[in-house]
Chains A and B, each alone.
Chain A
Amino acid sequence: MGDGMVTIYLMGKAYSVPENLTIMKAMEYSGFQLKRGCGCRGGFCGACATVYRIKGDYRVQEGLACQTVVEEDMYLSMIPFYPAIKKKYDIEELEPETNVLRQLYPEINRCLGCNTCTRSCPQELEVMDYMNAAIRGDIEKVANLSFDCIMCGLCASRCPAELVQHNVAILARRIYGKYILPKARHLAERVREIEDGRIEKEVDELIAKDREGLEKLYNERDIEGE
């Protein structure tokens, strides 16, 4: 310590690494070429779920390897894969009813209300709240509360009731997006216009123009205001 280095334990083995690195970069610094547990490197994909414990502390904490900075005496292990259950369904056949989440994932009723999921979420989502909403059948609430979920699976890996929060959540979001959010009428109308062949001609006329003509049209096009 003091020399800008810290000691971390990758799956139990000690390595000395610069103190400001993320767990991911610390592993690379230590000579690992990552295969699993590394995707976007920017906190978007959930590939790099990691659990760790600081020496002397009994608590196990959770984080994303690409977003969490190493600490002195950190014992860590990645969970690049977690055998979470994922129900198959035909989105066309589902009905947006209050019991649809419970029908596919009846085990959600087993939630103990322990809040471990919320505490472990690296996105700081109110996971337990959305699970409660799921039990009540409030699809809209599940969809909105879980929207920033990157499906890292950390909540599921820690849940004492063995629930799969993120898979329940994506089901809710898809039902919400498909059945509950009103359809965009202007979008359907545009699709119809194209199918009826009412649009193609305008584009073909542009294609027929020479470069100069096209450039002129481009430079003179009007731009919608803010």
Chain B
Amino acid sequence: MSYPDMMRAAIKKVEETRKKRLDETFSMLSPEEKKELLENFHPDYRDDAFREVKVGANKGQSLPHEVVDILEARSRIDPDSFSLDVDREVDVLVIGGGGGGSSAALIADALGAEVLQVTKLRMGDANTMMAQGGIQIADKENDSPAIHFLDVMGGGGFANKPDLVKALVMDAPEVGKWLEDLGYMFDKEEDGRMVTRHGGGTSRKRMHSARDYSGAEIMRTLRDEVQNREVPTIEFLPAVELLLTEEGSCQGAVLYDLETEEYMVIRAKTVILATGGFGRIHVSGFPTTNHYGATADGLVMAYRAGANLLFMDSTQFHPTGAAFPEQIVGLLITEKVRGLGAQLVNNEGEQFVYPLETRDAEASAIIRECEDRGRGIETPTGMKGVWLDSPMIDQIHGKGTLKKELPAMFRQFDRFDIDITEDPILIYPTLHYQNGGVEIDASCETRVKNLFVAGETSGGVHGKNRLMGNSLLDVLVFGRRAGRAAAERVREVKFGKLSLDHVKDYNRGLEEGGVETDRVSPMLLPDYSAEGSF
């Protein structure tokens, strides 16, 4: 599966100009140029990609069609006939088997609560497993939580909720210590000092890592610990609806066994939702870096239960997703490739953007190059992309650098007979992160009493744009906070009568809003058997 002839010709151009480009620096965008670029080419600014949502707490707000589609949809269960006979009672129900859910489960369990953790796929089939770059922690002498605070706020366009950002940066060192004590293999110097690097938008080198498996190392460590502590977990058992009491506080969920196709009713004193992001709803038709189960289920369930959403109008596109070979379209090509000196090059073999602009600007420039200027390179399946000139890395830093610094990436392409030390990588922006989500307070509680949300499902902490390394931190900080708050709340809660009235109300809202649809949500699994896959 090496490059076909039609692409080989284009690669020639890249090779021809490589030598010249080695000492060429493309100028950075001025603030005005950047603004214009974003407004014209960033998918967040495309009016035709949005419509008004007609139901629920964010009624009247303009959101991407794909988000509105899953919000304006019917429940998987019929609230009028569904039997709410309780199958199992617990203190804390944790929904989600990623970093957020697992840290919440561990903390709630350690505080003595009776926990049940359920997840849609296997434990650890989650975005957390896929993070490569690292986690931000302000622990060096020249750094501080206050400096970190400023970076997060600036990165998020100052729209972030300050109390959440404070929690994020102040808890970060403790989270680092927790990981270290659990046996996380941080990249360290001989004497134990953390090896730290810059990431987009950091003013200090604060990115901590575990080679290029930073997230996998978190996920497998937490999963191992959940197993060691014997926290009850059930896999392939997604939640499909939350349960409220007649007084409106959350007391459980309806679960659905993916294999037996049976429903199960769990009554819980508190509920933690940590179902992750929305990459697999493919906003504006983009491919995604996200795992198979990233279908925004938690967002839908919380919204139907009355919670409100923040910043769901902003989506993070990663500028460099694989565009070839077809098998890995959308897969993340880490920022580090550009960090090590690889330039972005069009079909003429020319640079067209400074390689380390912010993600939104970088992505917009690539979209402009392909869609507007017609300088993209086409693949056999008709997808367009531009080159990321990876062979430059060894030319700049010496032979062997790429393989040493980016082993996962090298392996990834080598499987398809593409040697990225010799040939460039074809890339196009890919849907990467859900910037917004369910509004929470600093203890992760939502507008719905006793419903806690943590991780990528929540919104507010990153404002309108998350910086790399702050979401692994987010899931651990707020996962732990949710675990603690939910476990402590247990003592105050008395079981009430379970009800699905909120679903009935929501259906009425759909009718009142004039929404006629037979769409059903949460989606649970994307269906690639019909339309061909991403």
Residue B153 at the chain A interface, CB threshold 8 Å: yes
A185-B529 CB under 8 A given contacts A34-B292, A203-B145, A207-B166 = no
Chain B residues, Cβ within 8 Å of A21: 326-327
Contact across chains for B150 and A217 when beta carbons are under 8 A apart: yes
B180→A178 contact, CB < 8 A = yes
Taking the closest CB of chain B, its distance from the CB of A61, in whole angstroms, is: 14
Q: Is B418 an interface residue (CB 8 A)?
A: no
Which A-chain residue is minimally distant from B124 (CB atoms)? A45
B418 CB to closest chain A CB (Å) equals 12
List of B residues within 8 angstroms of A211 by Cβ: 158
Say yes or no: is B520 at the interface (Cβ < 8 Å to chain A).
no
- Given A20-B1, A211-B158: A183 in contact with B192 (beta carbons within 8 A): yes
In the complex, A191→B193 CA distance in Å? Answer: 15
Contact (Cβ within 8 A) A190 B180: no
CB of B46 closer than 8 Å to a CB of A: no
Residues on B with C-beta less than 8 A from A90 are: 228
- Chain B residues within 8 Å of A33, by CB: 525, 527-529
- CB pair B182–A42 under 8 Å, yes or no, is no
A226 at the interface (CB under 8 A from B): yes
Would you give the shortest CB distance from A36 to chain B, in whole angstroms? 7
Task: List A21-41 residues whose CB lies under 8 Å from chain B.
Answer: 21-22, 25, 28-36, 38-41
Closest A residue to B150 by beta carbon equals A218
Taking the complex as formed, is A54 at the interface, i.e. its CB lies under 8 A from any CB of chain B?
no
Q: Which residues of A contact B149 (CB under 8 A)?
A: 203, 206
Nearest CB in chain B to that of A90: its residue: B228
Contact B203 A191 (CB under 8 A): no
Label chain A's interface by main secondary structure: loop
Measured CB to CB, the closest approach of chain B to A215, in angstroms, equals 6
Q: Which residues of the partner chain B approach A215 to less than 8 Å between Cβ atoms?
A: 154, 158
A176 to B180, CA, bound (A): 10
Max chain B CB contacts within 10 Å: which of A32, A36, A203, A223?
A203
Q: How far is the CA of A29 from the CA of B416 in the complex (A)?
A: 20
B504 within 8 A of A: no
CB-based contact A39/B138 at 8 Å: no
A-B contact number at CB 8 A:
226
Stretch at the interface among A109-117, A126-134, A167-175: A167-175
B139 within 8 A of A: yes
> Is B399 positioned at the interface, with any CB of A under 8 Å from its CB?
no
Pick the contact of B121 from A38, A42, A186, A218 — CB < 8 Å? A38
Q: Mark B516-534, 1 if CB is under 8 A from A, else 0.
A: 0000000001011100110
Interface centre among A44, A88, A90, A151, by most chain B C-beta atoms within 10 angstroms, is A44
Asked if B181 lies at the interface with its beta carbon under 8 angstroms from chain A, I say yes
Residue of A nearest to B280 (CB): A41
Q: Which residues of B contact A42 (CB under 8 A)?
A: 130, 289, 291, 328, 331-332, 412
A150-B216, A182-B188 are known contacts. Are A187 and B180 too (CB-CB below 8 A)? Answer: yes
- Complex Cα gap A25–B147 (Å): 45
How many whole Å from A125's CB to the nearest CB in chain B? 11
B328: chain A residues within 8 A (beta carbon): 42
Q: Which residue of A lies closest to B212 (CB)?
A: A148
Residue of B nearest to A22 (CB): B327
Is B191 part of the contact surface with A, judged by Cβ < 8 Å? yes
B411 contacts A222, CB within 8 Å? no
Docked-complex contact B291 and A174, CB < 8 angstroms: no
Asked if residues A194 and B203 are in contact (CB atoms below 8 Å), the reply is no
Closest to B206 in A: A224
CB closest residue in chain A, given B140: A186
Q: Which residues of B contact A184 (CB under 8 A)?
A: 139, 176, 180, 186, 188, 192-194
Contact call A181/B147, Cβ cutoff below 8 A:
no
In contact, B180 and A224 (Cβ under 8 angstroms): no
Q: Are A67 and B415 in contact (CB under 8 A)?
A: yes
The residues of B that contact A29 with a CB separation of less than 8 Å are 529, 532-533
How far, in whole Å, are A88 and B532 apart by their CA atoms in the complex?
42
> B19 in the interface, Cβ–Cβ < 8 Å?
no
Contact B407 A148 (CB under 8 A): yes
Q: Are B528 and A187 in contact (CB under 8 A)?
A: no
Give the distance in Å from the alpha carbon of A32 to the alpha carbon of B190 in the complex. 50
Complex alpha-carbon distance, A221 and B202, angstroms: 11
CB within 8 Å of A: which B216-242 residues: 216, 220-221, 224-225, 227-228, 230, 236
**Which of B8-16, B88-96, B167-175 forms contacts with chain A?**
B167-175
User: With A and B bound together, what is the CA distance between A40 and B125 in angstroms?
Assistant: 6
Complex contacts, B151 vs chain A, CB 8 Å: 218, 221
- Give the complex CA separation of A111 and B385 in angstroms: 49
CB contact between B174 and one of A143, A185, A191 (< 8 Å): that residue? A191
Query: Does B184 make an interface contact (CB < 8 A)?
Result: yes
Tell whether A41 pairs with B291 under 8 Å between CB atoms, given A31-B529, A178-B181.
yes
Write the nearest CB–CB distance from A195 to chain B, whole angstroms: 8
Q: Which of A68, A176, A200 contacts B170 (CB 8 A)?
A: A200
A203 to B408 Cα, complex, angstroms: 38
User: Do B145 and A40 touch across chains, with their CB atoms under 8 A apart?
Assistant: no
For the complex, give the distance between the alpha carbons of A43 and B216 in Å: 11
Q: For the complex, give the distance between the alpha carbons of A33 and B160 in Å.
A: 38
A147 touches B185 (CB 8 A): yes
Q: How far is the CA of A38 from the CA of B228 in the complex (A)?
A: 25
Q: Is B200 an interface residue (CB 8 A)?
A: no
CA–CA, A173 and B147, complex, Å: 33
With A33-B525, A45-B124, A181-B186 as given contacts, are A199 and B170 in contact (CB-CB < 8 Å)? yes
Shortest distance between the CB of B141 and any CB in chain A (Å): 6
Question: How far apart are B297's CB and chain A's nearest CB, in angstroms?
Answer: 15
Contacts known (A25-B533, A44-B130, A187-B176); A174 close to B183, Cβ less than 8 A: yes
**Interface check B129, CB cutoff 8 A:** yes
A148 to B214, CA, bound (A): 11
A68 CA to B1 CA, complexed, in Å: 11
Task: Check: B282 CB closer than 8 A to any chain A CB.
Answer: no
Q: How far is the CA of A20 from the CA of B205 in the complex (A)?
A: 42
**What are 7 A-to-B residue pairs whose CB atoms are below 8 Å?**
A28-B532, A43-B408, A88-B230, A199-B145, A215-B154, A218-B150, A224-B198
- Could you list which residues of chain B lie within 8 angstroms of chain A, going by C-beta atoms? 1, 121-122, 124-126, 129-130, 137-142, 144-147, 149-151, 153-154, 158, 162-163, 166, 169-170, 173-174, 176-177, 180-186, 188, 190-194, 198, 203-205, 210-211, 213, 216, 220-221, 224-225, 227-228, 230, 236, 258-259, 289, 291-293, 325-328, 331-332, 407-408, 411-412, 415-416, 525, 527-529, 532-533
